[in-house]
A and B are shown apart, each in its own frame.
Chain A
């Protein structure tokens, strides 16, 4: 059974703090990793899709890295803002299946 794990489960930070969280996954037969952002009462939206070891992607104040050999990805948020408050989901795609395996998510709360 493939298990994608995210930590921490929840995070409370002050506006302006930089933060990061982790996604760990089995590296065997790994194909791609997705990060999604899920705001309350909205649909999850894709932030990044990464496939290559050493990939780094950036969108505004948010960036992500990928290490496929050791099976982890980091998501960084620089200078957190209240509008960054959401659940951040990590999901992995493996060669042997057509579905994404989702982690439990990290719930971020940014206080003004």
Chain B
């Protein structure tokens, strides 16, 4: 079946512009995660959605970052007034059942964001 998809695959923007990244999780997956990997660094957790519960936003680096998810479907990650340090690969992942740690995460192909 279809995996996690993300769009766009690449995004180049100018400093100060807003960008919106999209994630389509696997159908039926209740949990959705956003991560990023900046050059030379590890995978950094950003935000986690679990069904209709309030999202865990503890990883968002600043108030310029926000994310939404409609029900158990598409999620968008918005970065306002982008800065050069926002340049990274942004990964989305979904999981079959929230709250159960023995389910693997399925990752999308990522969006490579470059802020000039």
Residues on A facing B (Cβ under 8 Å):
31-32, 34, 36, 42-46, 49, 51, 89, 93-94, 97-105
Q: How far is the CA of A44 from the CA of B37 in the complex (A)?
A: 12
**What residues on A are CB-neighbors of B110 within 8 Å?**
43
Contact assessment for B42 and A51 in the assembled complex, using a CB-CB cutoff below 8 Å: no
Chain B nearest CB: distance from A13 CB in Å? 21
Partner of B48 from the list A42, A49, A98 (CB cut-off 8 Å) is: A98
Q: Size class of B's contact patch?
A: 20 to 34
Residues on B facing A (Cβ under 8 Å):
3-4, 31, 33, 35, 41-43, 45, 48, 50, 56, 91, 93, 98-99, 101-110
Chain A nearest CB: distance from B58 CB in Å? 9
Name, among A36, A89, A100, A101, the residue most crowded by chain B CB atoms within 10 Å (CB to CB).
A100
Contact assessment for B31 and A100 in the assembled complex, using a CB-CB cutoff below 8 Å: no
